[in-house]
């Protein structure tokens, strides 16, 4: 048995790869716009695939465009230890969200190559398609179909704002692969990601050891009133969906306070119809996102949201309809994977904190079919989904080292 405890990733090589990937879709403000299944996404994927082949990995692409780069193990009967994340970004995204998890996985492969280490189980790096949900809703649809949470036909039929279908765009960029997108046995799965929140930085901890992920519910709330002229129509007697909306907003923000500090209430998008400056709109369609790490509390928040909306609708004479867009229950990660991360952090001597994720990740879906764990590193001011998203090279290196040792442990045990 060789002693693997001394092996480390090459932080500079990881950083250089991150910067090379960030050049594809780079924005003026230092961020990245590389949305799913665009030409830029294809360029990013092509670059990643080339890097993997250069590292001696075989590459498989499934029917959802998920990419799996595999480094063989000495025992082909063992299911692989997988790590992965996503390469797609928000329209005004950063250089690290998702990309870091993918390239840290690649760096693990490269570091093992340099050290001449063969693991017992094979290792794989996955790129999950359309994690962000920015171009095609819902988010995490690549890992979602793979893990059996969505039908592939449903995914293919999703359209972007221009009406282009997911399946057509996947075909167009040449990433509709021959392998059916379906879960297979895994020894373990890991994902390393920037925190996308301020906690690690504020507490000066280098590594977050994740025990789970917040539950999150997405809705479309449609408020329908009666359009009328902005001038001649008196304020009283209007059935103005905005009058209902401002009360809904107020009550839901107060609901978040009631379930502080972990409840999250977000309104990320709004559309007014017909959308004319001097007309009370007939219809408002609002995207609502509710989150909490405890399933029972999230269900209580969901119940109250419906109650509040019904009450205000009745009060204002506006019709309210809530459509469930997506539900992701709270997740608890697999104890052996959490323990492998904990052990790696202890062995490497990094400061750390046990926490839950406030954002959704592909690991949520992967965790339904395989033992899964996650690792966080700090990001500057907690900023993410923002062109100014930033992380320290030393922290990114530390997170990749934790990933390396957690994967080694699971691949050799």
Q: Does 97 bind Zn ion (CB under 5 A)?
A: yes
Residue 185, Cβ density class (10 Å: 0-12 exposed, 13-18 middle, ≥19 buried): exposed
User: Which residues ranging from 240 to 299 are in contact with Zn ion (CB under 5 A)?
Assistant: none
Rounded distance between C-alpha atoms, residue 86 and residue 337, angstroms: 20
User: Angle at CA 53, nearest 5°, toward 122 and 369?
Assistant: 40
Query: Which listed range, 11-19, 93-101, 121-129, 292-300, lies at the site for Zn ion (CB under 5 A)?
Result: 93-101
Is the Cβ of residue 73 or residue 84 nearer to Zn ion in the bound state? 84
Residue with tokens 């009550």: 251
Query: Which listed range, 50-58, 95-103, 199-207, 374-382, lies at the site for Zn ion (CB under 5 A)?
Result: 95-103
What does the block give as tokens for 110? 């490269």
Query: Which listed range, 89-97, 107-115, 121-129, 215-223, lies at the site for Zn ion (CB under 5 A)?
Result: 89-97
CB of residue 264 to Zn ion, shortest distance in Å: 16
Is the Cβ of residue 84 or residue 122 nearer to Zn ion in the bound state? 84
Q: Does 98 bind Zn ion (CB under 5 A)?
A: yes
DSSP character for 79? P
Pairing status of strand 319-328 against strand 352-357: unpaired
DSSP-derived 3-state class of residue 328: strand
Query: Which listed range, 31-39, 97-105, 268-276, 314-322, lies at the site for Zn ion (CB under 5 A)?
Result: 97-105
CB of residue 133 to Zn ion, shortest distance in Å: 10
CB of residue 235 to Zn ion, shortest distance in Å: 45
User: Which residues ranging from 330 to 359 are in contact with Zn ion (CB under 5 A)?
Assistant: none
Rounded distance between C-alpha atoms, residue 23 and residue 183, angstroms: 32
Is the Cβ of residue 145 or residue 312 nearer to Zn ion in the bound state? 145
Query: Which listed range, 94-102, 144-152, 246-254, 257-265, lies at the site for Zn ion (CB under 5 A)?
Result: 94-102
Extended beta strands in 33-113, E state = 58-61, 67-71, 81-85
What does the block give as tokens for 64? 């959802």
CB atoms within 10 A of CB 262: 15
CB of residue 306 to Zn ion, shortest distance in Å: 30
Beta bridge partners of 165: 159
Please give the full DSSP string across 188-219, using - where no structure is assigned. Answer: EEEEEEE-SSSHHHHTT-SEEEEEEE-EEEEE
CB of residue 46 to Zn ion, shortest distance in Å: 21
Is the Cβ of residue 112 or residue 396 nearer to Zn ion in the bound state? 396
Interface residues with Zn ion (CB under 5 A) are 97-98
């Amino acid at each position: 048995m060789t002693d693997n405890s001394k092996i480390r990733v090459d932080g500079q090589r990881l950083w250089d790869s991150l910067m090379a990937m960030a050049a594809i879709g780079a924005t003026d403000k230092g961020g990245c716009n590389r949305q799913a299944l665009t030409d830029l996404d294809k360029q990013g994927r092509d670059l990643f695939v080339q890097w993997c082949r250069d590292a001696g990995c075989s590459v498989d692409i499934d029917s959802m465009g998920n990419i799996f780069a595999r480094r063989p193990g000495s025992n082909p009967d063992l299911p692989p230890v997988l790590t992965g994340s996503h390469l797609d970004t928000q329209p005004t995204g950063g250089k690290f969200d998702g990309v870091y998890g993918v390239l840290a996985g690649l760096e693990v492969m490269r570091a093992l190559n340099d050290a001449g280490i063969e693991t017992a189980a094979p290792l794989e790096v996955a790129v999950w398609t359309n994690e962000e949900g920015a171009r095609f809703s819902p988010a995490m649809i690549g890992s979602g179909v793979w893990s059996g949470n969505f039908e592939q036909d449903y995914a293919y039929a999703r359209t972007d704002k221009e009406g282009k279908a997911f399946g057509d765009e996947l075909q167009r960029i040449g990433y509709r692969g021959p392998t059916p997108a379906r879960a297979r046995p895994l020894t373990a799965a890991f994902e390393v990601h920037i925190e996308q929140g301020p906690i690690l930085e504020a507490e000066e901890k280098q590594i977050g050891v994740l025990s789970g992920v917040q539950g999150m519910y997405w809705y479309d709330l449609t408020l329908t009133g009666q359009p009328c002229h902005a001038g001649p129509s008196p304020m009283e007697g209007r059935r103005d969906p905005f009058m209902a909306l401002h009360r809904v907003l107020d009550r839901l923000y107060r609901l978040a306070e009631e379930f502080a500090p972990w409840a999250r209430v977000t309104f990320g998008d709004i559309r007014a119809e017909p959308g004319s400056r001097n007309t009370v709109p007939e219809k408002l369609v609002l995207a609502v996102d509710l989150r909490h790490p405890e399933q029972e509390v999230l269900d209580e928040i969901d119940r109250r949201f419906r109650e509040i909306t019904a009450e205000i609708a009745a009060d204002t004479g506006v019709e309210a309809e809530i459509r469930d867009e997506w539900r992701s229950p709270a997740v608890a990660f697999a104890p052996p994977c959490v323990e492998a991360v904990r052990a790696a952090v202890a062995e490497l001597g990094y400061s750390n904190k046990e926490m839950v994720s406030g954002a959704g990740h592909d690991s949520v879906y992967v965790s339904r079919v395989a033992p899964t764990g996650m690792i966080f590193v700090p990001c500057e001011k907690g900023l993410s989904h923002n062109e100014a998203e930033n992380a320290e090279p030393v922290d990114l290196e530390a997170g990749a080292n934790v990933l390396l040792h957690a994967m080694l442990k699971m691949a050799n045990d």
